[in-house]
């Protein structure tokens, strides 16, 4: 009797031990977590920030330079593990298209409302270069103010790189501003910042694509107010393009196997949320302070341990 009791007790204790051990310590695979880098500063710095957080948890990390639209298909098929800055206006369509095919999961949302839109630096408003701004209707009377040597006397809107957008801003200018305006694509994010700097120096009007959160929030950037966005308003979605961009979300995405292969890293990633100030500061370290993306990430991690350390122990 005594031995039977003891044996049963040992078995029960063994099961309980195995069970609790199993729930607290499913180990992450040593396979690298593949993080994409794109062509704007906060995204690249945040890639190294998140990679640094994963490494602090003992994970292996790999970085790949990836196309900003095709990356969602790459995540779906598992070539890339995560995306940490899915901007609604610019990438929402590609993100959901990949999700609909199966293999991409929504891994949560940053605490940062976003806007990706054309606008003018605050000083263009302060100098009243185009009375009535930021209402888009004011632009109809100001085309000449925003003319550039390459615009043939028309007002010029400097769009972001073509890798971010299709024709949505071209269609919108045609639909709402007509023939007095042209849209040109910048070659890079740096070309946008160079244009802002030279326009300021020359005291001339300029209208460029930009976004928030970004380093430009600190100095002041005023987005043009267009008729409100609604689902389907863009030509590419069947509408007439007479709309602005959404005040949108900033999401994280992951391959559907990531929670299974790297449960600890996934738990951390799913909790991670950066706010506008944090995202703006990641960009500013590069675009204002001229640090490399990697050094900026190191500094950011060192300066913000209180913000990210708690993510590494979620559920433990
Ligand atoms: C995706 N971006 C923030 C550059 O608009």
CATH assignment of the domain containing 167:
3.40.190.100
Which residues have a Cβ under 8 Å from the Cβ of 16 and sit 6 or more positions away? none
Radius of gyration of the chain (CA): 24
**What is the 7 CA–ligand 1 centroid distance (Å)?**
63
In a domain, 23, yes or no: no
| 97 and 198 housed in the same domain | no
In a domain, 78, yes or no: yes
Beta strands in 176-233 (DSSP E): 181-185, 208-212, 221-223
| 230 and 123 housed in the same domain | yes
Residue with CA at minimum distance from ligand 1 atom 4: 40
| Predicted local distance difference test score (pLDDT) of residue 285 | 98
Reply yes or no on whether the pLDDT at 7 is more than 70: no
| Predicted local distance difference test score (pLDDT) of residue 18 | 46
**What is the 88 CA–ligand 1 centroid distance (Å)?**
9
Q: Which atom of ligand 1 is nearest to the CA of 189?
A: 4
State the alpha helices, DSSP H only, in 57-128.
71-76, 88-101, 122-126
Domain stop point among 237, 256, 274: 237
Our mutation pick for probing the ligand 1 site, out of 164, 188, 276, counting the most ligand atoms within 8 A of Cβ, is 164
| 153 and 187 housed in the same domain | yes
Across residues 138-165, what is the average pLDDT? 96
Taking the C-alpha atoms of residue 211 and residue 276, their distance in angstroms, rounded to an integer, is 11
In a domain, 168, yes or no: yes
Residue 89: pLDDT band with limits 50, 70, 90 = very high
**What is the 315 CA–ligand 1 centroid distance (Å)?**
32
| 232 and 271 housed in the same domain | no
Across residues 152-177, what is the average pLDDT? 96
Taking the C-alpha atoms of residue 101 and residue 189, their distance in angstroms, rounded to an integer, is 31
**What is the 86 CA–ligand 1 centroid distance (Å)?**
9
What are the tens digits of pLDDT across the range 248-268? 999 999 999 999 999 999 999
Q: Which atom of ligand 1 is nearest to the CA of 160?
A: 4
| 223 and 283 housed in the same domain | no
* Ranges 13-22, 107-116, 200-209: which has the least confidence: 13-22
Domain stop point among 237, 268, 302: 237
- Residues having CB within 6 Å of any atom of ligand 1: 40, 87, 90, 116, 160, 164, 211
Q: Considering the chain, what percentage of its residues have pLDDT values greater than 70? A: 91
Tokens standing for 312? 């590494």
| 188 and 252 housed in the same domain | no
| 107 and 128 housed in the same domain | no
How many CB atoms neighbour CB 134 within 10 A? 17
Residue 5: pLDDT band with limits 50, 70, 90 = low
Residue 26: pLDDT band with limits 50, 70, 90 = confident
Name the β-bridge partners of 222: 120
In a domain, 205, yes or no: yes
Reply yes or no on whether the pLDDT at 107 is more than 50: yes
Tokens standing for 224? 């043009």
Our mutation pick for probing the ligand 1 site, out of 39, 43, 66, counting the most ligand atoms within 8 A of Cβ, is 43
**What is the 296 CA–ligand 1 centroid distance (Å)?**
19
| Predicted local distance difference test score (pLDDT) of residue 6 | 52
In a domain, 12, yes or no: no
In a domain, 21, yes or no: no
Taking the C-alpha atoms of residue 10 and residue 52, their distance in angstroms, rounded to an integer, is 43
Q: Which atom of ligand 1 is nearest to the CA of 40?
A: 4
| 252 and 106 housed in the same domain | yes
| 229 and 296 housed in the same domain | no
Reply yes or no on whether the pLDDT at 38 is more than 50: yes
**What is the 14 CA–ligand 1 centroid distance (Å)?**
53
Across residues 205-212, what is the average pLDDT? 98
Number of domains in the chain: 2
Taking the C-alpha atoms of residue 65 and residue 271, their distance in angstroms, rounded to an integer, is 24
Q: Indicate which CATH number applies to the domain containing 70.
A: 3.40.190.10
113 exposure class (CB count in 10 Å sphere: 0-12, 13-18, 19+) = middle
| Predicted local distance difference test score (pLDDT) of residue 314 | 80
| 134 and 106 housed in the same domain | no
In a domain, 53, yes or no: yes
User: Average pLDDT, whole number, for the chain?
Assistant: 93
**What is the 112 CA–ligand 1 centroid distance (Å)?**
14
Reply yes or no on whether the pLDDT at 21 is more than 90: no
In a domain, 10, yes or no: no
How many CB atoms neighbour CB 149 within 10 A? 6
Measured over the CA atoms of residue 176, residue 181, residue 185 and residue 190, the dihedral's sign is negative
| Predicted local distance difference test score (pLDDT) of residue 316 | 67
| 57 and 74 housed in the same domain | yes
Domain stop point among 237, 258, 284: 237
* Ranges 12-16, 228-232, 302-306: which has the least confidence: 12-16
| Predicted local distance difference test score (pLDDT) of residue 15 | 46
| 37 and 184 housed in the same domain | no
Across residues 195-212, what is the average pLDDT? 97
Range of the domain at 140: 115-237
């Amino acid at each position: 009797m005594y031995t039977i009791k003891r044996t049963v007790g040992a078995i029960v204790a063994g099961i309980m031990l195995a069970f609790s051990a199993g729930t607290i310590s499913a180990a992450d695979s040593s396979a690298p977590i593949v993080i994409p880098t794109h062509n704007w500063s906060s995204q690249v710095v945040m890639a190294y920030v998140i990679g640094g957080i994963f490494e602090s948890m003992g994970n292996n990390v790999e970085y790949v330079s990836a196309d900003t639209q095709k990356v969602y298909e790459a995540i779906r098929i598992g070539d890339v593990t995560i995306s940490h800055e899915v901007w609604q206006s610019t990438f929402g369509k590609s993100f959901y298209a990949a999700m609909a095919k199966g293999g991409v999961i929504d891994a949560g949302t940053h605490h940062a409302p976003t806007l990706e839109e054309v606008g003018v630096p605050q000083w263009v408003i302060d100098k009243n270069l185009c009375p009535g701004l930021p209402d888009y209707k004011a632009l109809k009377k100001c085309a000449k103010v925003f003319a550039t040597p390459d615009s043939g006397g028309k007002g010029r809107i400097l769009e972001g790189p073509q890798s971010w957008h299709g024709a949505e801003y071209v269609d919108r200018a045609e639909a709402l501003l007509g023939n007095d305006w042209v849209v040109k694509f910048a070659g890079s994010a740096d070309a946008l910042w160079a244009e802002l700097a030279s326009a300021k120096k020359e005291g001339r009007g300029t209208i460029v694509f930009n976004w928030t959160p970004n380093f430009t929030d600190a100095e002041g950037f005023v987005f043009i107010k267009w008729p409100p966005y609604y689902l389907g308003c863009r030509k590419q979605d069947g509408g007439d393009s007479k709309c602005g961009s959404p005040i949108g979300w900033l999401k994280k995405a992951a391959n559907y196997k990531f929670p299974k292969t790297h449960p600890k890293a996934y738990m951390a990633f799913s909790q991670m949320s950066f706010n506008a100030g944090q995202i703006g500061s990641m960009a500013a370290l590069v675009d204002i302070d001229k640090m490399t993306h990697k050094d900026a990430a190191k500094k950011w991690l060192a300066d913000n341990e209180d913000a990210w350390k708690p993510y590494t122990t979620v559920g433990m």
